[in-house]
């Protein structure tokens, strides 16, 4: 039987278990949308903007419930989605992107949407294909999926020209999907033994983990318990090691880390790093100095030595490598005693830090720690928390314990604002049985706030908490010290109640600490009943996070004495003169 490329693409997506696609139909993909509209297992989701669709697809993949899939028009759809694709690429998140393409059978130039989208996407995708023949449609989509999900994951792009979608071609044999074989571990027994010896002989071992360890929590905990090693995480790594574990110290490294991490790792003489690139955010703008004995585990060997020299680099999947490493460690002595000392110190430091926040006067607004205490108390252990990019991100990292794997998402290395509101929708569609909430700054909410209507259309009961302070706070705080002025970081007033009403979502106002318990409970109850809800949180940002202060200090020290004096003098003069 003759088939169109659109029909073949639908069959390939069904074989891959795709349940949702995200995008907007246009003249170059209407046949694909028509096919998916008839699918019994795939729901095409209409988004407000392709960037929001890309963030939704990203979140689907982060939940582990299948690969997030975009279905977009060429050119404008690709450029609109590029921020979300770039986020997935730098954060190591698989994504399948299908786009239409201009006709390849007319010889005509200057067609609508005609551009070299493969060149545009080359820096932010793992692989790109243009389907030229009907018999290649299914195999190419299968190949793209395998590349997206093996090794270090990432986004892939498949273009299907519109003439192949519209016109029926010859009958072709459709192959069954064959998953890629499991990758053999690359770390040799000799390298594993060397790493085990370093950890075994260390007096103060510690662990640092990122998103690459998100499915290796059991193996991480086994090694942490055996060594009595405190554990710090990257921003994405908050999902990799449960905050309920007594050896969980918290977020980041060095002067930008929370006190529990800074104290627990102060004397570290051997660090086991798993699934992390030692990127700018978790190292506090590279303000941390590693121990000489650094054991680095990652599926991508290019990260070894990129920022910090690894004494041993162990290439491979985190679960496999850590299982081998735990076996090589053998019976250990001293771990239980170290664990007792470390857990007591970590618990005391965490309590002291939260008490410091509780003692802070929010001046009639909402104290962040009161908010996160109440949210954590009401959120199930497997509840998903999605943060955007901004000051609130680091409040979440420092004050919101994450209890289970794949339960915290945030734009990290690409650091794209606007992520949260659509990503919450994607996460809820992927995991409808879970409670899903978003923490978003008022600046980021302006970027993709219209995707709340997508939640309404999809009947996704979720809650977004907008931290409303009237500024782009993370940058405004960074401006205060060197400049003593805020340029383009004070936001024009936005009526969030009106925005909620326009999108047909519920609205709640949280004015101060007295509203916190009631409003969070009400919002979560409404979401559980299927109603999307926006909560306007009048947050107090007058107390800085450890991360912000640490990064500012680290970067200031990088300037020479003359430049330090100039920056500080300028700020003081502006304060004096007003």
> Domain residues of the chain, as ranges?
5-166, 189-349, 360-547
Choose the CATH number for 360-547 among 3.40.50.970, 3.30.70.260, 3.30.565.10, 2.60.40.1250. Answer: 3.40.50.970
pLDDT at 481 over 80: no
| Residue in 399, 395, 401, 392 with CA at minimum distance from that of residue 353 | 399
What span, in angstroms and rounded, lies between the C-alpha atoms of 55 and 86? 10
CATH code assigned to 5-166? 3.40.50.970
Average pLDDT, the chain: 94
Q: What is the pLDDT of residue 486?
A: 85
CA distances to 417, 439, 543 from 477, in Å = 17, 19, 10
Question: Would the pTM count as exceeding 0.75?
Answer: yes
5-166 and 189-349 agree in CATH topology: yes
pLDDT at 204 over 80: yes
Mean pLDDT of 558-562: 83
Mean pLDDT of 257-286: 97
Model confidence pLDDT, tens digit, residues 413-445: 998 999 999 999 999 999 999 999 999 999 999
Mean pLDDT of 471-488: 80
Please, which residues bridge with residue 69 across strands? Answer: 21, 96
Q: What is the pLDDT of residue 1?
A: 73
Mean pLDDT of 132-151: 97
Report the share of the chain in percent with pLDDT over 70.
Answer: 100
CA distances to 24, 422, 481, 491, 574 from 472, in Å = 30, 19, 15, 7, 21
What span, in angstroms and rounded, lies between the C-alpha atoms of 20 and 32? 13
Mean pLDDT of 1-12: 92
Q: What is the pLDDT of residue 578?
A: 66
Residue 324 phi/psi, 5-degree rounding, is: -65, -40
Integer distance in angstroms from the first to the last C-alpha of the chain?
Answer: 79
Q: What is the pLDDT of residue 571?
A: 73
Strands 205-209 and 231-233 turn out to be: parallel
Residue 61 phi/psi, 5-degree rounding, is: -65, -40
Max Cα-Cα span within the chain: 82
569/219: higher pLDDT: 219
| CATH code 3.40.50.1220 for 189-349 | yes
CA distances to 104, 194, 206, 451 from 191, in Å = 52, 5, 19, 48
């Amino acid at each position: 039987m003759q088939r169109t490329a659109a029909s073949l693409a639908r069959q390939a997506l069904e074989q891959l278990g795709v349940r949702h696609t995200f995008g907007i139909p246009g003249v170059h993909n209407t046949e694909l949308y028509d096919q998916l509209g008839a699918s019994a297992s795939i729901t095409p989701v209409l988004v407000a903007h392709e960037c929001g669709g890309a963030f939704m697809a990203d979140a689907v993949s982060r939940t582990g419930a299948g690969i997030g899939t975009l279905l977009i028009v060429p050119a404008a759809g690709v450029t609109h989605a590029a921020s979300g694709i770039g986020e997935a690429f730098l954060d190591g998140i698989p994504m399948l992107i299908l786009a239409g393409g201009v006709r390849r059978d007319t010889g005509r130039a200057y067609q609508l949407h005609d551009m070299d989208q493969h060149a545009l996407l080359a820096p932010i995708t793992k692989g790109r294909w243009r389907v030229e023949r009907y018999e290649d449609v299914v195999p190419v989509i299968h190949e793209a999926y395998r590349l997206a999900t093996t090794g270090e994951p990432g986004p892939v792009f498949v273009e299907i020209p519109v003439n192949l979608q519209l016109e029926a071609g010859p009958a072709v044999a459709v192959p069954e999907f064959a998953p890629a074989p499991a990758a053999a571990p690359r770390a040799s027994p000799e390298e594993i033994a060397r790493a085990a010896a370093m950890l075994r002989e260390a007096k103060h071992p510690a662990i640092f983990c990122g998103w690459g360890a998100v499915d290796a929590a059991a193996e991480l905990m086994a090694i942490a318990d055996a060594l009595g090693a405190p554990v710090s995480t990257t921003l994405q790594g908050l999902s990799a090691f449960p905050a309920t574990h007594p050896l969980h110290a918290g977020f980041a490294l060095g002067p930008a880390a929370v006190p529990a991490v800074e104290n627990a790792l102060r004397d570290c003489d051997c660090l086991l790093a798993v699934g992390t690139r030692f990127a700018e955010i978790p190292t506090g703008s590279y303000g941390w100095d590693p121990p000489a004995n650094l054991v680095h585990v990652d599926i991508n060997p290019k990260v070894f030595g990129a920022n910090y020299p690894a004494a041993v680099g162990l290439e491979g999947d985190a679960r496999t490598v850590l299982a081998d490493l735990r076996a090589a460690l053998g019976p250990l002595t001293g771990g239980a005693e170290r664990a007792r000392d470390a857990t007591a110190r970590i618990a005391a430091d965490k309590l002291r830090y939260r008490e410091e926040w509780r003692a802070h006067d929010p001046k009639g607004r909402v104290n962040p720690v009161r908010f996160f205490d109440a949210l954590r108390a009401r959120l199930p252990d497997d509840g998903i928390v999605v943060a955007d990019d901004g000051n609130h991100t680091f409040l979440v990292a420092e004050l919101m314990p994450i209890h289970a794997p794949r339960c915290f998402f945030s734009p990290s290395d690409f650091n794209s604002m606007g992520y949260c509101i659509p990503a919450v929708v994607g996460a809820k569609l992927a995991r409808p049985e879970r409670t899903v909430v978003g923490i978003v700054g008022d600046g980021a909410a302006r970027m993709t706030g219209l995707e709340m209507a997508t939640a309404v259309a999809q009947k996704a009961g979720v809650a977004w908490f907008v931290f409303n302070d009237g500024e782009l706070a993370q940058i405004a705080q960074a401006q205060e010290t060197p400049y003593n002025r805020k340029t383009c970081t004070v936001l024009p007033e936005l009526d969030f109640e009106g925005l909620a009403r326009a999108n047909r979502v519920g609205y709640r106002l949280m004015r101060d600490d007295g509203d916190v318990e009631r409003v969070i409970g009400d919002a979560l109850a409404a979401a559980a009943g299927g109603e999307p809800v926006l909560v306007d949180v009048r947050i107090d940002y007058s107390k800085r996070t450890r991360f912000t202060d640490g990064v500012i200090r680290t970067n200031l020290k990088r300037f020479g004495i003359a430049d330090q004096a100039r920056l500080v003098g300028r700020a003081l003069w502006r304060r004096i003169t007003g």
